[in-house]
Amino acid sequence: MNGQRVDLRGVPVFERPSRVFEVLDRLPDGEPLTFVTDLEPRGLMSRIELSRKHEIVLDGRRIGEREWHVTLRRIEPEVDAPSPVGVLRRSAAFAELDDATRARIAASASMHTVRRGQALVTENSEWPFVGVVFEGVVAMSSGVGSSRNRIFYEIFPYEVFGEAEFFDHSLSVGRVVAISKVARVLRIPRDALSAVASDAPQTLVALGRIAAQRVRGLMHALSAQATLPIVARIASVLLPYAMPEDGLSQAVSPLPTMTQAQIAAAAGTVKEVAARAIAELENHAVLKRERGHIRYLDRQKLVDLIREHS
């Protein structure tokens, strides 16, 4: 891949953001920067987004065990409220397309808003769209109505869902529900996107890579569920919400508003078991709660705990 590359493995967690910004701010216009990390990069990606709001396209990939590559590209920020074209420009799935192709996709797309707990997609239903989250967070889940509801993965701003149904035209693989206070989504009709993809096959490559990354993530989660003790599984669920800071620092949204039942569902367990693990982590100063919700996390302690049991 063209552009510069920064290897953050071995760099202390709290020094990583400054190392990335140091290189990013020297990059010529249009040149990408890829950083390599041995830690789940969501917290670092959130720090970059907060510092360079609306100016960066982020594309993170799990390459292997303890190896992630995250590519950053600077773009011109959108001045007004988010538009369909602007959302597509920020999404890694569509960032490589030209403006005319993105405009074709945007012409058929629509924006939708849901509140916490509301479903965008119901399980085992016909949903002939591809969605792009552009505000808040939604989750792919299954087992609605049972005592073992499972959250498979979260979908963060400018990430895509519905890619599996796009390729096989089958019923929805799960339930997509808002877990932040508000979530806003761009909904693209599958047929319209297929028509565009016939002229821009890189769209298919991008969606296929997303599908492959989801498989990798699910395999990792299943392996963790089978081999890690519950405290380490809860730590793995919390890690993406931990900022790259030294010591306890404010957790990434929407964790501060998530319930113990939601955290349990993400770890593949039940609320009572998750509650005991969370209390144990708090006793060891891995996290701090306020009014029953996890508000602060220590990223390094989470990492150390997971590695101890891996």
How far apart (Å, rounded) are the C-alpha atoms in residues 220 and 214? 10
Report the relative pairing of strands 4-7 and 33-37 from DSSP bridges: parallel
- Parent domain of 205: 107-224
> Is residue 89 a part of any domain in this protein?
no
Return the pLDDT at 293.
95
Let me know whether 206 and 271 are in one domain.
Answer: no
Please state the three-class secondary structure of the chain as a single string.
CCCEEEECCCCCHHHHHHHHHHHHCCCCCCCCEEEEECCCCHHHHHHHHHHCCCCEEEEEEEEECCEEEEEEEECCCCCCCCCHHHHHHHCCCCCCCCHHHHHHHHHHCEEEEEECCCEEECCCCCCCEEEEEEECCEEEEECCCCCCCEEEEEECCCCEECHHHHHHCCCCCCEEEECCCEEEEEEEEHHHHHHHHHHCCHHHHHHHHHHHHHHHHHHHHHHHHHHCCHHHHHHHHHHHHCCCCCCEEECCCCHHHCCHHHHHHHHCCCHHHHHHHHHHHHHCCCEEEECCEEEEEEHHHHHHHHHHHC
298: tokens are 């220590």
Let me know whether 123 and 208 are in one domain.
Answer: yes
Residue 29: which residues within 8 A CB-CB, separation 6 or more? Answer: 74
> Is residue 99 a part of any domain in this protein?
no
Total number of domains constituting the chain = 3
Return the pLDDT at 18.
92
Let me know whether 242 and 304 are in one domain.
Answer: yes
> Is residue 102 a part of any domain in this protein?
no
Let me know whether 220 and 129 are in one domain.
Answer: yes
Let me know whether 119 and 189 are in one domain.
Answer: yes
Domain boundary among 224, 245, 268: 224
How far apart (Å, rounded) are the C-alpha atoms in residues 94 and 104? 12
Q: Average pLDDT over the chain, rounded to whole?
A: 92
Let me know whether 219 and 155 are in one domain.
Answer: yes
Let me know whether 114 and 209 are in one domain.
Answer: yes
CATH of the domain at 270: 1.10.10.10
Mean pLDDT confidence for 179-183: 94
Q: Is the per-residue pLDDT at 89 higher than 90? A: yes
Let me know whether 208 and 119 are in one domain.
Answer: yes
pTM exceeds cut of 0.75: yes
Q: Is the per-residue pLDDT at 144 higher than 70? A: no
CATH of the domain at 66: 3.30.110.40
Let me know whether 220 and 240 are in one domain.
Answer: no
Contact 204, 197 (CB under 8 A): yes
Domain boundary among 188, 206, 224: 224
> Is residue 83 a part of any domain in this protein?
no
How far apart (Å, rounded) are the C-alpha atoms in residues 4 and 30? 12
How far apart (Å, rounded) are the C-alpha atoms in residues 21 and 241? 20
Domain boundary among 161, 194, 224: 224
Q: Is the per-residue pLDDT at 212 higher than 90? A: yes
Q: Which residue has the higher pLDDT, 96 or 160?
A: 160
> Is residue 97 a part of any domain in this protein?
no
Contact 61, 69 (CB under 8 A): yes
> Is residue 84 a part of any domain in this protein?
no
> Is residue 197 a part of any domain in this protein?
yes
Let me know whether 254 and 270 are in one domain.
Answer: yes
> Is residue 273 a part of any domain in this protein?
yes
Let me know whether 298 and 233 are in one domain.
Answer: yes
Confidence of residue 165 (pLDDT cuts 50, 70, 90): very high
CB atoms within 10 A of CB 36: 15
Return the pLDDT at 147.
53
Q: Is the per-residue pLDDT at 78 higher than 80? A: no
